[in-house]
Amino acid sequence: MTTSILPERSPILWEPSEKRIEQSHLKAFSDFANQPLFPYERLHRWSVSHLGEFWSNVWDYAGIIGHKGERAYVPGDSMPDATWFPEASLNFAENLLRGSLDRIAAYEADESGVRREVTLQELKQLVAKAQKGLQKLGVQKGDCVAGITTNDIQGLAALIATTSLGAVWTSCSPDFGAKGIVDRIGQVKPKVLIATLSYQYKQKQFDMEEKIKETTDQIDDLSALITFNGRARFSGKETLTWEELCDNEAEEPIFKPTAFADPLYILYTSGTTGLPKAIVHSVGGTLLQHVKEHQLHCDVKQNDVLFWYTNTAWMMYPWLVSGLASEAAILLYDGSPVTPNTRTHLWDIADEVGVTHFGTSPKYLETLMKANVELKNSHSLETLKSLLSCGAPLAPEQYDWIYETIKEDLLLASISGGTEIIGCFVMGSPVHPVKRGEIACKALGLAVDVLDERGASVYEKKADLVCTQSFPSMPLTFVGEGGEERYRKSYFSKRPGIWTHGDLAEQTIDQTLIIYGRSDTTLNPGGVRIGTAEIYRVVDHISDIQDSVVFGLPKAHDEEIVLCIVTDHLTEDLAKKIRRQIREKASPRHVPKRIYQVEDIPHTNNDKKVEGAAKTAAQGEKVQNEASLRNPSSLRYFSQLQEKEHF
């Protein structure tokens, strides 16, 4: 049996007070649904064995604006064939633009600090004007509008205006290369493109005009281009500035009714092994999944301030936007998380606007940890109730550091899901204790399990994270030829009828969960499955190492673990230190056979390490989609790897 790297049952680092539990959304929801809150495992079993009843209760509890209809769930012959709320009618934008008109809806900030805030009334007016402009361009229900936008209020208004018409929104971050943009939004053939002509990162200004021209030249059927930050000088396309688009008298948006299963968003996977998958998500599935996660699991309440550090290409951007449906304010930040003057810039802003829920990544927290930042000594963080993390597993040592240096009374939630479900399979909750290195619980309404190769549910053993029942935020399809077949093959080919997500996970006997990384990058030396996260948990906390990537290379019908690190100078002593710590904190099987020094590590634009690209390059093969990488030049270090000296 393969055991966890945790040497003993993880200690409890935080427990919710009785008052916090009593005042939580989750307690109110359990009362509303007439179900006991404890034990939570019973509530979860009810939520997945009475799917229609559970999701119908989520609709009613969250006060979804629209017509629900009589039926919530109609089973199909397989998971993707199930139907959700077949008689429902609603509008996504209407559910975002709800609540008191004088409440703050959004804050906008960048590397210079907080730039502005808008009330709900002001946001509705912005949306109304953008909506009117889009209508004049012929945008109708079902059309696609694409954005190459920064994370700001204009981009938010463009997204909401698009969805108010029942049209479909898709977006890329402006830091993508032209090929990366075309590989994504070129697949979906948008009717209108909304693009910024410039953006700033690390206090450097970047001009986008040539990149936008190159993009528009390659997108068929594009009828209009709308630009932020200036006027484009392109021929052959109708081109308007954002100000011209919004130059009308509209004050109140209209809301076109849509069906529950009408398309809302198109999101993209990283696509490092081919063209990114263009995944279509539904209006109702997205909304229900997000209000459930925000309210029941994250305990986001009216007038809270929700923040996630994200660009507009990552699924956490629409996740953040949906915070409006819980009548919370959202903080939109564009730029580098650290500035030349301070590593705590995001926390300065959090203090200024009163952030209650701070979302980030383990990589950012690791940067602060290595710099010995102690926020509790420099920031009040009086309003901060929850720290959320995703994008990679959060290491046990990071749990300790957060409670020691940020805030003691804090709900820390490592969450894990995917672009494919525009949500989370496993999460925290306001009624669970926080255990070191572990994720608190399975998300309500999702029949999450961990299955071995026999298809048996296993505990205290690494195996595949799966979901065995349908849920509303499953994709509608993939865009493009054979989209339905590709969708089903991606998630149901390994276990027909069961969603196999592609994560290596463990469920503990205490019903918590541990994620070890992607199954397709799982190491298998000597036939023992090892998640890459188990090695990163050790290596990333060695102060001499700035970044790292680990993968397996074939060796005589087996494979060897190869570790590549970014460091000032790889010495025999450092290599011994790395191996010693991995042996002590993980196991002898985790110790890499070869350690190389490289100048850079391949990352996606969302800052995820790409082990597959590093491995492919190290084997002398061509990486299929370098455009998905933030730093494709890093691959040259790996293509020459086996000629380099190693320890």
| Category of 84 on φ-ψ map: left (φ > 0), alpha (ψ -120 to 50) or beta | beta
Domains detected in the chain: 12-98+283-516 (3.40.50.12780), 121-259 (3.40.50.980), 525-643 (3.30.300.30)
Look at strands 224-228 and 192-196 and give their pairing: parallel
Cβ–Cβ under 8 Å, residues 439 and 39:
no
The one-character DSSP state at 293 is I
Q: Which residues of 5-15 are buried (b: 16+ CB within 10 A; e: fewer)?
A: bbeeebeebbe
Cα separation of 472 and 490, whole Å? 18
Residue 408 in tokens: 């003691």
**pLDDT for the residue numbered 9:** 55
As a whole number of angstroms, the distance between CA 581 and CA 19 comes to 42
Cβ-count burial 191-215 (b if 16+ within 10 Å, e if not)? bbbbbbbebebeeeeeebbebbbeb
Give the phi and the psi of residue 535 in degrees, each rounded to 5.
-80, -40
Structure confidence at residue 273 (pLDDT): 58
Distance of CA 380 to the CA centre of its chain: 28
Secondary structure letter of residue 622 according to DSSP: P
Answer yes or no: are the C-beta atoms of 65 and 324 closer than 8 Å.
no
Q: Which uninterrupted H or E stretch holds 465? A: strand 463-467
Q: How far is 642 from 602, CA to CA, in rounded Å? A: 17
The tally of CA atoms less than 13 A away on the side-chain side of residue 55 is 29
DSSP for 493-538 reads: SSSTTSEEEEEEEEE-TTS-EEEEEEGGG-B-GGG--B-HHHHHHH
pTM of the predicted structure, to 2 decimals: 0.90
* Distance in angstroms (rounded) separating the CA atoms of residues 586 and 437: 13
**In this predicted structure, what is the pLDDT of residue 4?**
42
Q: What is the dihedral of CA 609, 532, 539, 578, to 10 degrees?
A: -130
CA distance 422 to 419: 5
DSSP string, 148-200: E--SSHHHHHHHHHHHHTT-EEEEE-TTS-HHHHHHHHHHH--SEEEEESEEE
Model pLDDT for residues 584-607, shown as the tens digit of each residue: 888 888 899 999 999 999 988 777
Confidence at residue 6, expressed as pLDDT on a 0 to 100 scale: 43
Q: Which residues share a beta bridge with 449?
A: 466
Mean model confidence pLDDT for the chain: 92
For residue range 76-103, list pLDDT tens digits in order: 999 999 999 999 999 999 999 999 999 9
Beta strand 434-435 pairing with 499-507: unpaired
| Residue 535 CA, distance from chain mean position | 22
Residue among 333, 557, 531 nearest 437 (CA): 531
Query: For residues 528-543, b (16+ Cβ closer than 10 Å) or e, as one string?
Result: ebbbbbbbbbbbbbbe
- With b meaning 16 or more CB within 10 Å and e meaning fewer, what string describes 342-353? ebbbbbebbbeb
Q: Tokens 């000597």 label which residue?
A: 526
Given a contact cutoff of 8 angstroms between Cβ atoms, the answer to whether 192 and 139 are in contact is yes
| C-alpha distances out from residue 340 to 111, 201, 336, 406, 537, Å | 10, 12, 10, 22, 28
pLDDT < 70 stretches in the chain: 1-10, 235, 270-274, 527
Instruction: Say what the pLDDT of residue 179 is.
Output: 85
Q: How confident is the model at residue 1, as a pLDDT?
A: 37
pLDDT of residue 391: 83
- What does the pLDDT look like over 608-622, one tens digit per residue? 888 888 988 888 888
- Name residue, tokens 């959060």: 394
- What SS3 string covers 572-591? HHHHHHHHHHHHHHCCHHHC
Per-position DSSP letters for 191-248, written without gaps between them: SEEEEESEEEETTEEEE-HHHHHHHHHT-TT--EEEEESS----SSSEEEEHHHHT-S
CA gap 585, 537 in Å, rounded: 9
CA angle 241, 244, 248 (to 5 degrees): 155
Identify the DSSP state of 279: E
What is the structure's pLDDT at 49?
A: 98
Contacts for 236 with CB less than 8 Å, ≥ 6 apart: none
